Structures are given as C-alpha cells and as structure tokens.
Copies of this chain bind each other. A is one copy, B any other.
Amino acid sequence: MDQRSTRDEPLDPRSIKSRTAMLEAARSLLASEGWDAITHARVAETAGVGRATAYRHWPTVNELALEAASIEIKSVSTLVTGDLRTDLLAELRALRTALVDRGLKHLMVSVMERAIHDPEFRKIRHQLNQRGGENLRNLLRDAVKRGDLQSTIDLEEIVSLLVGPIIYEVVLHDQTTSDKRLVRLVDFVLRGCQPD
C-alpha cells in the first residue's frame, strides 16, 4: 500500500536488517504469546539484536506493536469461474484458511482488542476488513452486473451474512467451519437472495 520511503528513509542495509529482524520477531511473539510479549527487551532478544537498537527504531512499545500488527495481507486471488456459487465458496474457503491455518485469527483478535482504545489500531482493523472482504465484494458486484444477483440488496449486508457466521464460529467457538458448513452457508445466503 505505502512504500516506506515517504517519511523515514532507512536506506542503510544494517538498519533494514535489524528492523526486519525485529518486526519478524515481534510478529512471532505476538502470535505465540500475545501483546504482553511485545516489549523492547523481548523483541530485541528474540531478533538477536541489542536492546538499545529496538528503542532507536521505536521509542515507545506502542509504535513497535503498531508496526508489528501492520501486516500486508495479500488477498489470495482465487480464480474466478463466473459461477457465483462456486466463486463465493472458493472465497470463503480462502478466508477460512487464512483465519485458521495461518495466524490471521490471532492477529485479527489482537488488533480488535487494541482497536477498542487506540485509534491507530482502528485503522489497521479497517484495513484488515477492507482487504479481507475485497474479493468477496468484487464477486458480488460482478454478479449484480451480470444479473445473477438482485441489485436491491445491499452488498455490504451480504458480505456480513457470509463473513459474520464464519468469524463467529472461528473466533468465538474455535471451530474450523467445515467445508459442508461453508456450502450450506453459501446456499443459504444465495437462496435468501433469490427473487420469489
């Protein structure tokens, strides 16, 4: 999204090296132990750099935490067949995989918690929402254009109907949301969108 060259310019290879090492360490710590593990000392130790170096790059822990949580989530572009049901299903599968298999669930919940009290983290949460539902929104918009979907229904609400239950089951119930469940979910929503 943003190239890290507008404000600070860490063109020195040494700076880049220690910086990336610390960020990687911070993300690992965040995923495995949560926010409490994000301290200058722990991160520096884990990254194998000096403690003072961590302070140089991020004067406060919050700045460090913020940057550690700012992960560029690559929206795995599932191949679009044109059949809405198939494409939605593929997209939801990708979402589930990202949440469960990769640590996105942990990250999301962590960011959610910080977002309650920190406006900066609200921005990150917003980006996660935006990126996470991007493909889904595109699919639905194209389907409306094609006429496969009623245009009277707000797309954001359909996204909510599809994503909401998955988030709910994965995050609040530690369920994996089986493949059959995903199929039922998609069919249910598509059925509800059908004109009578």
The interface of chain A, by Cβ under 8 A from chain B, is: 32-35, 106, 109-110, 112-114, 116-117, 122, 125, 129, 157, 160-161, 163-169, 171-174, 181, 184-185, 188-189, 191-192
Contacts and interface: CB of A to CB of B under 8 A. Distances in A.
A169 B164 contact: yes
A184 B189 CA distance: 13
Copies in the complex: 2
Nearest to A160: B165
Contact of A157 (B110, B114, B167, B181): B181
A34 B113 contact: yes
Main SS at interface, chain A:
helix
Given A34-B113, A109-B113, A113-B110, A167 B161 contact: no
Given A35-B35, A160-B168, 19 more contacts: A34-B116, A34-B117, A35-B113, A106-B116, A109-B113, A110-B113, A112-B171, A112-B172, A122-B174, A125-B172, A129-B172, A157-B165, A161-B161, A161-B165, A163-B168, A164-B168, A167-B167, A167-B172, A191-B192
